[in-house]
Structure 1
């Protein structure tokens, strides 16, 4: 049975409209189809909590991690120690007031001498222990050896020889000697000894375990020295290379007696309470010059440094 002409035209028109809509949809590039799809390859057993979430504490996080089957490594907040040297000076020597100034024939000098004899009993016991591990130890020879160690260590410091300095000073003394000297120039010189060095104090303590012995010997040294420190611009900060100064020092030399390959090294200095204060460090500052116009030259001879104006402060 033949279809009427009107219905055929309507069906043809609908078919063409649907084809045109499909073609427009395929040509519409404003919303392209995704070219790839995300695929989860690894499952996360523990998801960290969001920022500013309630109950965000370390205990809750650890409990959630354990529940998820994740075992975190235990952290040990311990301070490492070095057994090659001790951490300080055991029973430090207290120098008598007025040392190197009082004569042994005076009344006060005799009192100091008798007090030193009373306190020398513990030193004699320590010297016996030191001789058990170091058979070549003698008080007279060790005082000269300590002075040589002191001179070599300071020469290595002025020349910035780190390897030699580590072999002459302990790990405790090294940062104290090198702190703040990175951009400075040090000029130090040992002139002469005013008095022969002598051993005034000795201790033989143990650390960590019983039998781990350290020998600490205090040596009195009275000498003439020169010291000058320059900053990184070559300006003098402290001392002078020409002025000689009498220096009285109490050096502490230490050795790990149990270690047969150890050696005597500089461990520190004892500064008495009655010692005079050190010279102040000269602070170098930059003085601003005049503001020059283009084409002008600065004449240093005719320029005067401006003085600060006087200000009246109310009480």
Structure 2
């Protein structure tokens, strides 16, 4: 039974194939390749702009989405934060005017004395918290340690040692120290300490979450230093290498206390309002001159620099 059915289907298939071939020859129909039927997919209302198209106008995708009735996703610009250091100085130390103690009998001296007592009480509480996380911390030895950090950080800055500078200053202080020094030469030297450094202020704030403690200690340092800054042409812009100056600074040293692998680093400086202004920076400018031929000299031409013409401004 099965064999007879297979024979029947085989005969029908051969007849069908032969009839189809005869029809194609009669109509001269040729099939160059397999036929593909398009299948309708989901309709796209918003198509993103193609990448790399030249000569076409860039359309606003947000406007196209609004026209199609689609809610465009809002873009959020998030600023990264670094928890290895704080973003600023918490409750900064306010140095007394002139760094001198006034008489307690006067009104200003009495205010100054009460402010010192209030700040010293808060500092003692902060020092107690710092000692809970750093058992080796001591106000007697920390001032000398802070001065060594300050000297090593500035030596790393003059030699452009970035790795060492990152280990000595915080991520907040690093851009402030290196900003604008790309094409300059810095010569800095620590001559001597006029007064022994001492701790004058301490705070232990929390940031982001409770228990995330940062230790900030302010150290008063009175020393003699030399600094000279040269531009990219080797011209002196600021200071002198031979003439030292007396510098009174209030350094803020910080450490992430809950991190056992952290260390004390330079975080910033406190500049009092009564501090004298800084020396102006001498900038060099290029004076336009005549275009000289290879056989000409500038001195032989007696060229005078033209002065800008006066302009009358009318209201």
SS at match of 1:266: strand
TM-score for the superposition, normalised by structure 2: 0.74
Q: Secondary structure at the match of 2:124?
A: helix
Hey, what's the Cα distance between the residues in 1 that align with 2:64 and 2:226?
60
**Could you tell me how far apart the structure 2 residues matched to 1:238 and 1:266 are?**
24
Q: Pairwise mapping of residues 128-147 of structure 1 onto structure 2 (< 5 A)?
A: 128-147=128-147
Aligned to 2:258: 258
Mapped to 1, the partners of 2:298 and 2:305 lie a distance apart of 15
Question: Which is worse superposed, 233-242 or 120-129?
Answer: 233-242
Q: Where does structure 1 lack aligned partners over 5 or more consecutive residues?
A: 1-37, 66-71
Q: Residue 212 of structure 1 corresponds to which residue in structure 2?
A: 212
Q: Is the 8 A contact 2:289 2:305 kept in 1?
A: no
Q: CA deviation at 1:45?
A: 4.8
Other structure's SS at 1:56 match: helix
Aligned equivalent of 1:21: none
Question: Equivalents in 2 of 1:121, 1:224: separation in Å?
Answer: 31
- Preserved CA contact (<8 Å) 2:65 2:71: no
What's 1:63 paired with?
A: 70
The answer on 1:48 being equivalent to 2:47 is: yes
Backbone CA RMSD of aligned residues = 3.5
**Alignment match, 1:229:** 229
1:111-158 Cα distance to aligned partner (Å, 9 max, x none): 545642332100000000000001111111001000000000000011
Residue 188 (structure 1) aligns with: 188
The corresponding residue for 2:82 is: 82
1: distance between equivalents of 2:168 and 2:62? 55
- Contact 2:104 2:113 (8 Å CA) reproduced: no
CA contact under 8 A between 2:230 and 2:236: conserved in structure 1? yes
CA distance in 2, matches of 1:277, 1:118: 30
- 1:205–1:55 Cα change, 3 Å: closer
Q: 1:53 to 1:145 in 2, by over 3 A?
A: closer
Matching residue of 2:162: 162
**Cα separation, 2, equivalents of 1:254 and 1:54:** 47
Displacement after TM superposition at 1:274 (Å): 1.2
Paired with 2:146 and 2:234, the residues of 1 have a C-alpha distance of 33
Aligned to 1:308: 307
What SS class does the counterpart of residue 287 from structure 2 fall into?
A: coil
Alignment check: 8 A CA contact 1:200 1:219 kept: yes
User: Secondary structure in 1 aligned to 2:136?
Assistant: coil
Q: Which residue of 1 aligns with 2:284?
A: 284
Aligned pairs, number: 269
Kept in 1, the 8 Å contact 2:199–2:219? The answer is yes
Q: 2:290 & 2:278 partners in 1: Cα distance?
A: 37
User: Is the partner of 1:63 in helix, strand or coil?
Assistant: coil
In structure 2, the gaps of 5 or more residues are 1-35, 50-57
Deviations 1:258-278 (A, max 9, x none): 011110000111111111111
